[in-house]
Structure 1
Amino acid sequence: MPIDPTLPYDDHNVFAKILRGEIPNRTVYEDEWALAFHDINPQAPTHVLVIPKGPYVSWDDFSAGASAEEIAGFVRAVGHVARSLGLVEPGYRLLANIGQHGHQEVPHLHVHLFGGKPLGPMLARFD
């Protein structure tokens, strides 16, 4: 069920539990700012989630409340993961679902990194 990104951070969400080590994951990369791990329900041959270590619900929450160091560290982590997985060429897709219309399901900011095959058009045309 999509979440409301304006609600306060819920430290019982699945990604908070992963960050605390309460739920195992297949880690791809970790540093002081971010954790990247394989999605348990992959939608492409490569499907990795990158999450900031801070308690941020959405991109809006993160961009408004994170420090410059957190923002830089998170963005650099996403780039590092893409490079380390060999996705820069031939390409990859980043996706952050935010709020109900964006179909965000976990109330912790996360970026999906998809690759390993041609991914098709971004969205179907709408009228």
Structure 2
Amino acid sequence: MDQNVVYESDNIFAKILRGELPCHKVFEDDVALAFLDIMPRAKGHTLVIPKTPARGLLDMPKAAIGPFIERVQTVSRAVMKGMEAEGLTLQQFNETAGGQVVFHLHFHVMPRWEGIRLRPHTGELEQQDLLHGYAKKIRAAF
């Protein structure tokens, strides 16, 4: 990791953590926050972010990785159960060359069903009422 690359606290996920921007929350504790992606590639596409400021996986403090990954697993189970999914796709990107767009560590948890492909990332916003319904199903699965 380039030592000159630093965490910038004005990223959109940091603003969501501080309550400056709204989200469709499905889980929160002292370690992580999980909420629905507003431009989902699958119904119930959820993002899990640490409360520890970290640009990516490579600069997350080692002591914080284990507890955070435990939350990713917990949220993944609830997403799968709540969305009645047959499988999951997890994605995590690091730096621009790796496909990262928001520079706060995050995992994409995407429920999957046989024969249904992931939607392309179009930048199109999902309808709020659909997101609300998905969030309700996932929260009920914890």
**TM-score w.r.t. length of structure 2:** 0.72
- Name 2:99's counterpart in structure 1: 103
- Name 2:58's counterpart in structure 1: 60
Whole-angstrom distance in 2 between the partners of 1:120 and 1:6: 38
What do the CA deviations read for 1:36-64 (whole angstroms, capped 9, x no partner)? 000010001120000000110011111xx
| One-letter amino acid matched to 1:44 | A
| One-letter amino acid matched to 2:37 | D
- Name 2:87's counterpart in structure 1: 91
Shift of the 17–5 alpha-carbon distance from structure 1 to 2, 3 Å rule, reads: farther
Whole-angstrom distance in 2 between the partners of 1:111 and 1:34: 11
* Residue number among 74, 77, 82 corresponding to 2:71 in the alignment: 77
Asked which structure has the greater RCO (Cα within 8 Å, sep 6+), the reply is 1
User: What 5-or-longer segments of structure 1 have no aligned partner?
Assistant: 122-127
Aligned alpha-carbon RMSD (Å): 2.4
Count of residues paired in the alignment: 114
Shift of 1:116: 3.6
**TM-score w.r.t. length of structure 1:** 0.80
- Residues 33-52 of structure 1: matches in 2 within 5 Å? 33-52=31-50
- Name 1:20's counterpart in structure 2: 18
* Aligned-partner SS, 2:26: strand
What do the CA deviations read for 1:9-45 (whole angstroms, capped 9, x no partner)? 1000000000000001011111111000000100011
- Name 2:110's counterpart in structure 1: 114
- Calculate percent identity across the aligned residue pairs: 40
| One-letter amino acid matched to 1:75 | I
| One-letter amino acid matched to 2:56 | S
Q: Is the 8 A contact 1:46 1:116 kept in 2?
A: no
Whole-angstrom distance in 1 between the partners of 2:29 and 2:42: 25
User: What 5-or-longer segments of structure 2 have no aligned partner?
Assistant: 119-142
